[in-house]
Amino acid sequence: MEQIPRVTHDIFRASLENSFRGYDPFDGLNSRFFNVVPFLKRGIFGLAWIQFHKRSIVNLRRLLLVPEKRNPKGVALFILGMLEQYKHSSDPQLLKECEYLADWLLSQVSDPGEWGHACWGYHFDWNARAFFVPRGKPNVITTIYVAQALYRIGTELKRQEYIDASFDAANFIVKTLYVEEGGRRFFAYIPGEAAFVHNASLWGSAWVAFVANETGNEKYSALALSVARQSISEQASDGSWVYGSRHHHQFIDGFHTGYNLEALDMLRTSLGTSEFDGAIAKGYEYYKDQLFEKNGLAKYYSNNPYPLDMHSVSQAIITFIKVGGGASDYSMAEKVINWSISELYMSDKKRFVYQKTKHFVNKTNYTRWTQAWVYYSFSYYCRKLAEQNEKD
């Protein structure tokens, strides 16, 4: 147990010393090379360039002029982690750092003239199989994590501008991301795209429900319920969800399943409904039984543990405690943490690897994908465990 707070502290200090900047698995198009040939960002070359950087076990970003930068979602996760640590330690310096980063997040809001409401995207151009997303174009997941961070620090410091921005994110989700297509009603991942992805839609629904409860907006409450019912209707009989509706989305993975469960739990808590209890219970049983091994290994896919990835570990910690919350769930969360430290932590570098496969280890330091998630989830675990021990 003593190693968990120590590792958490080391991750935080290293990130703080680098001003929470870092590399990202998908930031290859930030290379200054594209200042000369920007047209190559799109299409097959841009996609291949991103995948090359993401998959390479040798980090060539410095050589290829990709700078370390802050990512809004990564910063939001660090704020959430610091707030967890503050609840446990009461260190005022943590709040000062949170406030500084929250101001930075407000400065990074996606173009208000184009989007009309508070929303956030990534700090890089992103070329995916289905679409090209320019730097700063908002997406629902980044927006929701930033909104959660701003709401929590705004509530702690009584800074209304933070709270207002977090609530306005729900307006963006409802007015820009709501889609009715193919007989479905859902929230899209990014504006203008109609791909149905469960975790994106459910997180959109969860945040809209949260804001609806805080503001008394019955229209938003009804919409959040309607959207959540879409994913409930597509839950498999064993409790699982595939990632999304498209042919290349027909896989079941650990951290997105955890996302789904956490989002549904937030929604039912916000609206005080028991409507989804059965689906959550069934999904949680599947999650525990099929996506973990007895030694604490967090599997990436339902049918394949590889790649071993700290994103799966971090979401597991949060899901076990928020959605489960029993003694056996805390025990499993601790087992997952200890397994990750044993298998994926580099004690000499004081950080976690990105991924481990059967044949190689990718040790690239990805701030948003790995270290930010570790810090938030480990801080959350330490704080909740301390509360449990005080009760006992």
Cα distance between residue 379 and residue 381, in whole Å: 5
Q: How far apart are CA 129 and CA 355, in angstroms?
A: 22
The whole domain housing 35 covers 28-68
CA distance 2 to 133: 43
Q: Which residues contact 312 (CB under 8 A, 6 or more apart)?
A: 253, 254, 255, 291, 298, 299, 300
Alpha helices in 131-273 (DSSP H): 140-157, 160-177, 198-215, 218-233, 254-271
Joined together, the tokens standing for residue 193 give 């795209």
Whether pTM exceeds 0.75: yes
Angle between helices 92-107 and 160-177 (to 10 degrees): 40
Report the SS3 class of residue 17. helix
- Number of domains composing the chain: 2
Residue where the block lists tokens 């995948």: 51
Question: Are 157 and 201 part of one and the same domain?
Answer: yes
Residue 132 domain-assigned (yes or no)? no
Which pLDDT belongs to residue 148?
Answer: 98
Is the distance from CB of 122 to CB of 116 less than 8 angstroms? no
User: How far lies 131's CA from each of 50, 128, 272, 354, in Å?
Assistant: 13, 5, 37, 25
Say if residue 183 is exposed, middle or buried (CB neighbours under 10 Å; 0-12, 13-18, 19+). exposed
Low-confidence ranges of the chain (pLDDT < 70): 1, 130, 392
The SS3 assignment for 247 reads helix
Q: Is residue 378 part of a domain?
A: yes
Instruction: Give residue for tokens 């208000």.
Output: 112
Could you give the CA distance from residue 251 to residue 264 in angstroms, rounded to a whole number? 20
Q: Produce one character per residue of 289-320: b if its CB has 16 or more CB atoms within 10 Å, e if not.
A: ebbbeeebbbbbebeebebbbbbbbbbbbbbb
Residues 159 and 62 in one domain: no
Domain co-membership, 38 together with 157: no
Instruction: Give the pLDDT confidence score for residue 130 in this predicted structure.
Output: 67
Question: Same structural domain for residues 34 and 111?
Answer: no
Structure tokens at 107: 């400065």
Q: Do 74 and 63 fall within a single domain?
A: no
Same domain, 43 and 111: no
Residues 61 and 209 both lie in one domain: no
Look at residues 192, 195, 165 and name the one whose alpha carbon lies nearest to residue 176.
Answer: 192
> In this structure, are 227 and 100 located in the same domain?
yes
Query: Do 244 and 181 reside in the same domain of the chain?
Result: yes
Is residue 260 exposed (0-12), middle (13-18) or buried (19+ Cβ within 10 Å)?
buried
Nearest residue to 262 via CA among 188, 220, 222, 210: 210
In angstroms, rounded to a whole number, what is the distance separating the alpha carbons of residues 281 and 71? 34
Contact 22, 366 (CB under 8 A): yes
For residue 215, the one-letter residue type is T
pLDDT digits 0-9 by tens, 59-97: 999 999 999 999 999 999 999 999 999 998 889 999 999
| CB within 8 Å of 334: residues ≥ 6 apart | 1, 4, 381, 385
Domain CATH number, residue 189: 1.50.10.10
Do 45 and 167 fall within a single domain? no
Give the C-alpha separation, 72 to 163, whole Å.
Answer: 17
Same domain, yes or no: 117 and 169: yes
Strand, helix or coil for residue 51 = helix
Say whether both 183 and 302 belong to one domain: yes
Q: Angle 190-191-194 (CA atoms, 0-180°, nearest 5)?
A: 80
Note whether 377 and 315 are within 8 A (CB). yes
